[in-house]
Structure 1
């Protein structure tokens, strides 16, 4: 089976690496173009491109800015039997979907959380189960028939980075299994009436207040490492722990110090915050921040 892989970030690299390891014939990689990085704007390769260059430099790499006629011609020349799409980053034209079956790995149990930020949404909804789906792509976003699902029961609080790492491994195994057994799989239509949707995350999504500790904590997990969580003043919060969901306090009241951290009351609940970062300043231990601002127990953190 000749497999063309389309994907860009680390999540996709894990899947690509698994397919290579299991002996699939990867005939090419399509990924987002290298982007300027750092002070000197040095081009930085995508995670998938870096993997191919480091380990399998004989595999062709395509980096089109868009899937136009020229890109389609180059892809067709690779003669793929299947196209695997994992966090590629762009909408695919119908001409590509018609070229070969396109299998997409999506970071939720579809039809729940179609769209750009499914893993964040699973965390924000505090689900008891996390999972991924492989679908046969069609012209609409994340609406294709389901070819396979894999999941696990929540066993701890996951931030986005940790959840992404675990789901990438789970998805890699699922995608390999779907490819191996493709001819024997009967696609299952999604229950479209049950679909929910999620949007692309922007920086403003990290804005929080101290009204409900549980919601602040879930945002902290979902938006780690970016955009993080911050107060209207721009003060960023790091190393959050949820200590209570029921206690009632004035919003932002400094309750006590705990080592280098601080316990802060919410209208509903209590948070422990390990570190704080004011706009334009370095991240410091919460205790040091309070000392520098001459804040004491009973004052309001804002």
Structure 2
């Protein structure tokens, strides 16, 4: 294998999870090419623009290639011309065909302790399922999704106060750290086959997953809020308007009404809602068309009524 700093790397990514790793590679002065997806319409005005990885590549002065099809003959020729020693992907979202994988060692940075939580939403799923730990796995890409031999893996505790945003940041930074460690001494990290009998899977998030069902257990709803905060946000409705619930605490107060009804207001803190089992203290919200705010500030202007019902 070449001298560490002479390894020619292709980095593929398309979302914020990939940014710490990309910036770490650029700072370490590896010969580097960036692959991302083509610009697309984003935001309310549907303005066509680059994703965050493509933007970062341009800011860092790195060669950037954004093909419609990463497996096309033209794409293979473009990547081959760079003469890569390794291809690294992080939240890229495209399948690598056999011809592409045969160019060189292809690695993926995945935010779970594989073989647990294979798939597109391991961070949200870990929070939804109430995990107390997760981690990052760097593995060799094979035909089957997230199934290749693991080269590096490290555990990360999930703190009680973690939500999707905070855990996403921690895992993306851990992925960058592990990648640099691996690249310094790749031979120190031999490939280890996954135990496929232990594999679990997570699915894509749809809009229905964001809707709060107050008949559920308070802890389950709390985990749902953590999994989708701060974006896109778990949601309920009040007087026909959406109310995003962004931060909660499982309350010790006993249930005093039907699921979804207002239990009580807690001065300078927020408000409590009855659940199917237990009660939930709401501490941060975002009303439709408004900015994110502490729940006690929302209460001051919302004029909540005793036993008022939240829901669809």
Q: TM-score, normalised by structure 2?
A: 0.87
1:63 is matched with: 66
Residues 235 and 245, structure 2, Cα contact 8 Å, conserved in 1: no
How many residue pairs get aligned? The number is 294
1:265 is matched with: 274
2:93 is matched with: 89
Q: SS of the residue aligned with 1:109?
A: coil
2:244 is matched with: 237
Residue 53 of structure 2 corresponds to residue 48 of structure 1: yes
Bigger mean CA deviation after superposition, 42-51 or 158-167:
42-51
Equivalent residue in structure 2 for 1:18, among 15, 21, 24: 24
Work out the CA distance in 2 between the residues paired with 1:238 and 1:24.
43
Distance 1:7 1:193, change over 3 A: same
Work out the CA distance in 2 between the residues paired with 1:72 and 1:245.
59
Residues 115 and 147, structure 2, Cα contact 8 Å, conserved in 1: yes
Residues 207 and 231, structure 1, Cα contact 8 Å, conserved in 2: yes
Q: TM-score, normalised by structure 1?
A: 0.90
Work out the CA distance in 2 between the residues paired with 1:243 and 1:201.
24
1:194 is matched with: 198
Could you tell me which runs of 5 or more consecutive residues in structure 2 were left unpaired when the two chains were aligned.
Answer: 1-6
Residue 232 of structure 2 corresponds to residue 220 of structure 1: no
> What is the Cα deviation at residue 18 of structure 1?
1.0
Residue 261 of structure 2 corresponds to residue 253 of structure 1: yes
Work out the CA distance in 1 between the residues paired with 2:173 and 2:204.
23
Could you tell me which runs of 5 or more consecutive residues in structure 1 were left unpaired when the two chains were aligned.
Answer: none
Residue 277 of structure 2 corresponds to residue 277 of structure 1: no
Q: SS of the residue aligned with 2:221?
A: helix
Residues 119 and 164, structure 1, Cα contact 8 Å, conserved in 2: yes
Residues 111 and 122, structure 2, Cα contact 8 Å, conserved in 1: yes
Deviations 1:25-75 (A, max 9, x none): 21x1110111223454333222122112112x2x32110111211111111
Work out the CA distance in 1 between the residues paired with 2:146 and 2:128.
20
Bigger mean CA deviation after superposition, 154-163 or 95-104:
154-163
Work out the CA distance in 2 between the residues paired with 1:4 and 1:282.
42
Work out the CA distance in 2 between the residues paired with 1:247 and 1:73.
65
2:148 is matched with: 144
Deviations 1:208-255 (A, max 9, x none): 121221111111111123332123766323233223278334212212
